[in-house]
Amino acid sequence: MATVNYAEDPTQASPPEVPVLPDIAPVTPRDDLAGLDELVEVTGRIRSGIESVITGRPDLVHVTVAVLLAEGHLLLEDVPGVGKTTLAKALARTIDCHVGRIQFTPDLLPSDLTGVNIYRTQSHEFEFRPGPVFSNIVIGDEINRASPKTQSALLECMEEGQTTVDGTTHVLPSPFLVVATQNPVEMEGTYPLPEAQRDRFMARLTVGYPELDAELEMLDRQENDNPLAHLTPVTDGAGVARLARAARAVYASAAVKRYVLALVTGTRQHPGLRLGASPRTSLQLLRAAKAVAAMSGRDHVLPDDVQYLARPVLAHRLIISTESRLAGQRAESIVDAIVGRTPIPSLEPRERR
């Protein structure tokens, strides 16, 4: 993966210098990477399956699978009809696990997601009936159509892997992945996700319109058949958990961790932003970079892996100042500027394992 340097937008004031970060104690490399070959082979088959449905967007599929391995959550944001829900369904079809589907509407209640206690007259006891969040992969369609109260029901689920109903805490299945979609252009009858909710999504992706050749290929493939019907599972939930453990074991040197922190710190000090990235962002960016490195067959993270994920992991968490917004600035361009001006560390041979 080549290193990319982005030019800073001349209309935006230069951010202050990123401070020198303290040294981080070196991490002893781990030896439990026996599953790396399996990870490359299985994720390659997962990506091939999804790409048979979503044509012409290999980077989109690559980051989607990386979020799965990094045990994060994914937000798909784009206009209607570009394949957001199809991407989520294709990912679910390639894994033999329990899938829950939620169609968010304004009248949806929190208990419709988490579950409800039902009183049984025969036994004179309450019985818990779990909701769709008790699944390995939860597909939430048009999440911004739900009320803030219902949206907030996912906060505990996404952060802690559990939900509390009537004072009783229930542990959710593992692995647990939320893939939510939303339409950013239609405002009537929608409730924008609050910052706390957006921060719990590891990455935000936009599908976009396909290139002409890719759309032509889509017409050929789907003229008489739905390719989703032909997807078969590549692995199961236990297999995903095993691959996630292998991805976590990928080595990240002190220099790479300082680079992650430099990018995150740069968002907090940029004059064009009212809110920068949180410490949760640092953790999720590093975990996602480990997953990308593992999918490339490497047992160590490179700065290129961090750069590759900067936009999808950072941009949706940032709040742009009014002045920057009026000047036409977007969160993505500010992230590009910070990446372009942050020095790229050089790794010693011992840091590459």
Question: Is it true that 15-33+250-353 and 47-107+133-248 share their CATH fold?
Answer: no
- pLDDT, position 242: 94
- pLDDT, position 336: 95
Residues 72-89: tens digit of each pLDDT: 999 999 888 888 999 999
Q: What are phi and psi of 78, to 5 degrees?
A: -170, 175
- pLDDT, position 10: 38
- pLDDT, position 34: 58
The DSSP code for 300 is: B
Q: How do 168-171 and 177-182 pair as beta strands? A: unpaired
Q: Please state which CATH class domain 47-107+133-248 belongs to.
A: alpha beta
- pLDDT, position 290: 97
Q: How far is the C-alpha of 91 from the C-alpha of 44, rounded, in Å? A: 13
In the chain, % of residues over pLDDT 90: 67
- pLDDT, position 31: 46
Amino acid identity of 152?
S
| Cis peptide leading into residue 271 (ω within 30°) | no
- pLDDT, position 250: 96
Is the pLDDT higher at 168 or at 19?
168
| DSSP string computed for 265-294 | HHHHH-TTEEE---HHHHHHHHHHHHHHHH
Residues 48-77: tens digit of each pLDDT: 999 989 988 999 999 999 999 999 999 999
Which of 3.40.50.1950, 1.10.3720.10, 1.10.8.80, 1.10.1740.10 is the CATH number of 15-33+250-353?
1.10.8.80
Please, how many CA atoms are within 13 Å of residue 255, restricted to the half-sphere of its CB? 15
Are residues 277 and 264 in contact, defined by beta-carbon separation less than 8 angstroms?
A: yes
Residues 214-247: tens digit of each pLDDT: 888 888 888 788 888 889 999 999 999 999 999 9
Least confident of 19-23, 31-35, 276-280, 336-340: 19-23
Domain extents in the chain: 15-33+250-353, 47-107+133-248
Are residues 59 and 236 in contact, defined by beta-carbon separation less than 8 angstroms?
A: no
Query: For 29-49, b where at least 16 C-beta lie within 10 A, e where not — what string?
Result: beeebebbeebbebbeebbeb
Joined tokens for residue 95: 């894994």
Are residues 169 and 176 in contact, defined by beta-carbon separation less than 8 angstroms?
A: no
Q: How far is the C-alpha of 252 from the C-alpha of 70, rounded, in Å? A: 14
Is the pLDDT higher at 28 or at 119?
119
Are residues 226 and 89 in contact, defined by beta-carbon separation less than 8 angstroms?
A: no
Q: How far is the C-alpha of 333 from the C-alpha of 17, rounded, in Å? A: 18
Are residues 54 and 205 in contact, defined by beta-carbon separation less than 8 angstroms?
A: no
